[in-house]
Amino acid sequence: MNHTFIALVENKPGVLNRVASLFRRRNFNIESLAVGRTESPEVSRMTVVVDCPNGDVDAHKIEANLYKLVNVIDVQDVTHQPSVTRDLALIKVKVGPERRAEVNGLAEIFRARIVDVAADAVIVEITGTEDKIEGMIELLRPLGIVEMVRTGQVSMTRGVNDGVRRVPGVNGHRYEDVAELAEMTP
Amino acid sequence: MKLKGAEIVWECLVREGVEVVFGYPGGANMPIYDAMLNYPVHHVLVRHEQGAAHMADGYARASGKVGVAMATSGPGATNLVTGICTAMMDSVPVVFITGQVAAHLIGGDAFQETDVTGITLPITKHNYLVTRADEIAEVIREAFYIARSGRPGPVLIDICKNAQIEQTEFVYPEDVKLPGYQPVTHSPRNLLDQAVKLIEKAKKPIILCGHGVIMSKAEEELMQFAVKTQTPVTSTLLGLGAFPASHPLSLGMMGMHGEAYANMAIQNSDLILAFGMRFDDRVTGTLKTYAPAAKKIHIEIDPSELHKNVYADVPLVGDLQTVLRDLIPLVDEYDHDEWLEEIHGWKNEVDSRSIMNWENDGKLQVAHLVADIWKATGGGAIVTTDVGQHQMWAAQYYFLEKPNRWITSGGAGTMGFGLPSAIGAWFAHKDQEIWAIAGDGGFQMTAAELTTAVQEGANVKVAIMNNNFLGMVRQWQEFFFEKRYSAVNMLTPDFVKLAEAHRVPARLVTKREEVNDAIEWARKTEGPVVLEFRVEQEEAVYPMVPQGAALHEMIRRPVKA
């Protein structure tokens, strides 16, 4: 199944390459990766969705390997935490004036909006979970999608809860997490 | 104080306690080589950058310090790659400093420009591209810290030529600021307690001693733990020397070419205590049938090694020495006489097959030669090897009592490692006897470093085990490819003449009765010496666990009629 990790990394050149290279080197498949700045100029935040066929064991492997990168500050797995997850898509649909209203109607239902109108096409912007976006795409497809771009998933846990950390991580403080490592089953 | 970037490089190296650097100059690191003349660091000019990397590696393994190797940009740097990978796979602390074209030329395919940080990304613990002089001090400080701390490993610093030339205020950073790099040293008490419970219950425990024991200098703690709990100790290839071979609890090496009784002991154990090792496929055989009855306690500094190949019932993250110091007072004294007796039974059976009991039939056997060198040197030499059959025989028959004397490429299995790593080791311990045991194939890969040894007066003795074959590949072809020998039969040069052309005294040995004389002659002769032994061509290393077989399913040496 897919696991969602939030990684805080140092905002330095080449760090994205290191992370991407690590996933390739260890033979993991990235489903989605979004990188951006955070409240601190020295820290970037990555939301990485990775296919983990062996569940927790794979997730542990990913966390532990991410920590081997000197520039990675913190990794948490938010897959099973209550969290807010968003993806943004821009979808260009080839419609003339006669069917614009149809697109507009669909957009309203999905709380999406039309952000650009040209003579022969419109651009729809939609924000939401992956499922919601997929749902909208399915309905727009018969109308003629000519172009689409997506940001990839970003996630944030609700409240002050953190995600799961399976590795002692930096500082070595999180002894209780080592215990968690012990409870993992093969 | 304003200094050139190149000078800052040396200021920092001197402060890190670097005494010797192995390298090769070129267009992109000339300012560094120019500045070098003003600093008290000895430079060893190698004949190929791979040699520099292996020398720095050998120096690091023998001394326990960080080794340093240098090369220019482009081909200079790419020639280091095999050596960097070797150090990475065996967790050896080496700092590599390469020259890079000027920062404004990067990306333009300038002369000798190569994306060295890109190439070495997966084979370094960390690497840096330095484009400005004012980054150099901080980067070098960090590089040495990263290389030697946590799970050690190679760090590469690629310094642009403009950064070497620019002047900047030199400030040596007091400490390193690495928010994402703080290795764990202790394991939590609740997990130590779980480990103690497993140790209490165990009737057939066994310690698997890895390179980590030596890296964390935990030999004393290993001994205390083993003796207190009367647990036998078997080693990985790189863990050899951490526990004295002559100790009654020592079972020697485990794995593909390990002692049969060590492998039997692992398969029959009910508790595995893995100390600073990573369950490489060469020590486990197939994982499906690996030590099926055993619970596993795994002590490792690198959390990514836990549960990687073998599931650990109690994973203990931390520095081995620290964790063992915490653990030893918590365990009681035990005896496991029945278990040790059982292992002893397997050992007796092994003795009957031992090549050591063979009569002299006039042919030279590598195993015998290794044993002869072991006897002649009193077991106290630093031994380096290449990779292949001779490496396994050296591991089996050069019985080590102390750590940091066994220098071999384990994880990477790099041919050509023996001679240059021996030269590197000599710089760490000029007063000690050093033997490089090599095969005819591997030796030829880095033979040019013989001249380096002469130029430096490096007192290394090279024993070339010449069977005119790539022996290990030949053995696999014999066992698994119906003896269809493909590209393994090797014409070798006249090694004596080759050595002499390098101004190295050399002797050819073809008969059993000449062996001891030749070894003594080599030991007495000052400086580098080459001995070529014409050995039995189609001998095989036993026992052997075929790839993908269970650890106890070994091909055994046939009992000689």
Q: Is the CB of B182 less than 8 angstroms away from the CB of A73? A: no
Return the closest-CA partner of residue B44 out of B454, B434, B419: B454
Q: What number is the average pLDDT over the span B88-114?
A: 97
Return the closest-CA partner of residue B232 out of B330, B334, B307: B334
Q: Which residues of B509-525 are buried (b: 16+ CB within 10 A; e: fewer)?
A: beebebbeebbeebbee
For residue B433, give the DSSP letter: -
Residue B181 maps to a domain: no
| Contacts of B23 by beta carbon, 8 Å cutoff, 6+ apart | B43, B44, B45, B46, B49, B52, B69, B70, B71, B97
In B, which residues are within 8 Å of A185 by CB distance? 311
In B, which residues are within 8 Å of A76 by CB distance? none
- B268 and B341 belong to one structural domain: yes
Q: What number is the average pLDDT over the span B89-95?
A: 98
The token duo for B242 is 């951490």
Residue linked to tokens 């957009």 = A107
Model pLDDT, residue A163: 81
Query: What residue of A is the nearest CA neighbor of B143?
Result: A70
Q: What is the Cα Rg of chain A in Å?
A: 20
pLDDT in tens, B329-373: 999 999 999 999 999 999 888 877 888 888 888 899 999 999 999
- B342 and B360 belong to one structural domain: no
B243 is catalytic: no
* The amino acid at A104: N
Q: What number is the average pLDDT over the span B391-401?
A: 97
Residue B335 maps to a domain: yes
- B78 and B222 belong to one structural domain: no
Which contacts of A37-40 are long-range, i.e. CB under 8 A and separated by 24 or more positions? A37/A11, A38/A8
Under 8 Å between Cβ of B504 and B442: no
pLDDT in tens, B478-500: 999 999 999 999 999 999 999 99
- Domains of chain A in start order, with CATH, are 2-81+162-183 (3.30.70.260), 83-150 (3.30.70.1150)
C-alpha to C-alpha distance for A99 and B478, rounded to whole angstroms: 74
pTM here is 0.95
C-alpha to C-alpha distance for B222 and B234, rounded to whole angstroms: 12
In B, which residues are within 8 Å of A57 by CB distance? 307
| Contacts of B394 by beta carbon, 8 Å cutoff, 6+ apart | B370, B383, B385, B408, B437
Q: Is the CB of A170 less than 8 angstroms away from the CB of B182? A: yes
Largest CA distance in chain A: 64
- B380 and B517 belong to one structural domain: yes
Range scoring the smallest mean pLDDT among A45-49, B68-72, B119-123, B315-319: B315-319
Mutate to test the interface with B, among A17, A23, A76, A181 (most CBs of B within 10 A): A181
Q: Which residues of B112-124 are buried (b: 16+ CB within 10 A; e: fewer)?
A: bbbebbebbbebb
Under 8 Å between Cβ of B429 and B403: no
- B429 and B494 belong to one structural domain: yes
- Number of domains observed in the structure of chain B: 3
Handedness of CA B447, B451, B456, B457 (dihedral sign): positive
CB pairs under 8 A between A and B: 88
C-alpha to C-alpha distance for B408 and B417, rounded to whole angstroms: 7
Query: What residue of A is the nearest CA neighbor of B147?
Result: A70
**Strands (DSSP E) found in B55-135:** 67-71, 94-100, 126-130
pLDDT above 60: residue A170: no
Model pLDDT, residue A169: 52
pLDDT in tens, A77-125: 999 989 999 999 999 999 999 999 999 999 999 999 999 999 999 999 9
- B186 and chain A in contact, CB less than 8 A: yes
- B178 and chain A in contact, CB less than 8 A: yes
Instruction: Give the CA distances from residue A129 to residues A136, A139, B44, B516, in Å, rounded to whole numbers and listed in that order.
Output: 11, 16, 60, 77
pLDDT in tens, B259-308: 999 999 999 999 999 999 999 999 999 999 999 999 999 999 998 999 89
Model pLDDT, residue A183: 64
C-alpha to C-alpha distance for B168 and B162, rounded to whole angstroms: 12
Where is pLDDT greater, at B220 or A165?
B220
Query: What residue of B is the nearest CA neighbor of A65?
Result: B304
Q: Which helix (H) or strand (E) holds B33?
A: helix B30-36
Residue B215 lies in domain = 189-349
In B, which residues are within 8 Å of A176 by CB distance? 188
| Contacts of B167 by beta carbon, 8 Å cutoff, 6+ apart | B2, B3, B4, B5, B133
User: Nearest CB to B191: which of A13, A17, A178?
Assistant: A178
Model pLDDT, residue A164: 81
In A, which residues are within 8 Å of B139 by CB distance? none
3-state helix, strand, coil in chain A (%, to 5): 35, 35, 30
- B263 and B278 belong to one structural domain: yes
C-alpha to C-alpha distance for B551 and B541, rounded to whole angstroms: 16
Residue B552 maps to a domain: no
- B314 and B366 belong to one structural domain: no
Q: What number is the average pLDDT over the span B424-439?
A: 98
pLDDT above 50: residue A173: no
Q: How many C-beta neighbours within 10 Å does residue A96 have?
A: 11
C-alpha to C-alpha distance for A122 and A98, rounded to whole angstroms: 12
Query: What residue of B is the nearest CA neighbor of A69?
Result: B126
Model pLDDT, residue A168: 65
Q: Is the CB of A14 less than 8 angstroms away from the CB of B117? A: yes
What's B321's domain CATH number? 3.40.50.1220
C-alpha to C-alpha distance for A164 and A177, rounded to whole angstroms: 9
Residue linked to tokens 């104080």 = B1
Model pLDDT, residue B561: 60
Mean pLDDT of chain A: 89
- B249 and B387 belong to one structural domain: no
- B360 and B335 belong to one structural domain: no
B554 is catalytic: no
- A17 and chain B in contact, CB less than 8 A: yes
Mutate to test the interface with B, among A22, A23, A175 (most CBs of B within 10 A): A175
In B, which residues are within 8 Å of A170 by CB distance? 179-182
Q: What angle do CA B253, B242, B457 make, to 5 degrees?
A: 100
C-alpha to C-alpha distance for B440 and B489, rounded to whole angstroms: 11
Burial tier of B147 (Cβ tally within 10 Å: 0-12, 13-18, 19+) = buried
Query: What residue of B is the nearest CA neighbor of A171?
Result: B182
Examine the fold and report which residue of B322, B349, B376 is the final residue of a domain before the chain moves on.
Answer: B349
Q: Is the CB of B122 less than 8 angstroms away from the CB of A25? A: yes
Model pLDDT, residue B360: 82
Residue B546 maps to a domain: no
Strand, helix or coil for residue B537: coil
DSSP labels, B396-417: HHS--SSSS-EE---SS--TT-
In B, which residues are within 8 Å of A13 by CB distance? 129
The token duo for B294 is 């055993």
Under 8 Å between Cβ of B222 and B353: no
Determine phi and psi for A116, rounding to 5 degrees: -155, 140
C-alpha to C-alpha distance for B66 and B58, rounded to whole angstroms: 10
B347 is catalytic: no
Residue B554 maps to a domain: no
Contact residues, A window 90-109, toward B, CB-based 8 Å cutoff: none
Residue B547 maps to a domain: no
- B7 and B135 belong to one structural domain: yes
The token duo for B552 is 């106890």
For residue B110, give the DSSP letter: -
In B, which residues are within 8 Å of A182 by CB distance? 191, 194, 312-315
pLDDT above 80: residue B198: yes
B472 is catalytic: yes
Q: Is the CB of A60 less than 8 angstroms away from the CB of B122? A: no
B161 is catalytic: yes
C-alpha to C-alpha distance for B5 and A114, rounded to whole angstroms: 56
For a pLDDT cut of 90, what percent of chain B falls above it?
Answer: 93
- B207 and B308 belong to one structural domain: yes
Query: What residue of A is the nearest CA neighbor of B131?
Result: A13
What's B517's domain CATH number? 3.40.50.970
Residue B180 maps to a domain: no
Residue B184 maps to a domain: no
- B120 and B216 belong to one structural domain: no
Q: Which residues of B294-319 are buried (b: 16+ CB within 10 A; e: fewer)?
A: bbbbbbbbbbbbbbbebbbbbbbbbb
C-alpha to C-alpha distance for B144 and B141, rounded to whole angstroms: 6
Under 8 Å between Cβ of B310 and B280: no
C-alpha to C-alpha distance for B190 and B32, rounded to whole angstroms: 52
Model pLDDT, residue A171: 44
pLDDT above 60: residue A172: no
* The amino acid at B402: K
User: Nearest CB to B303: which of A168, A176, A185?
Assistant: A168
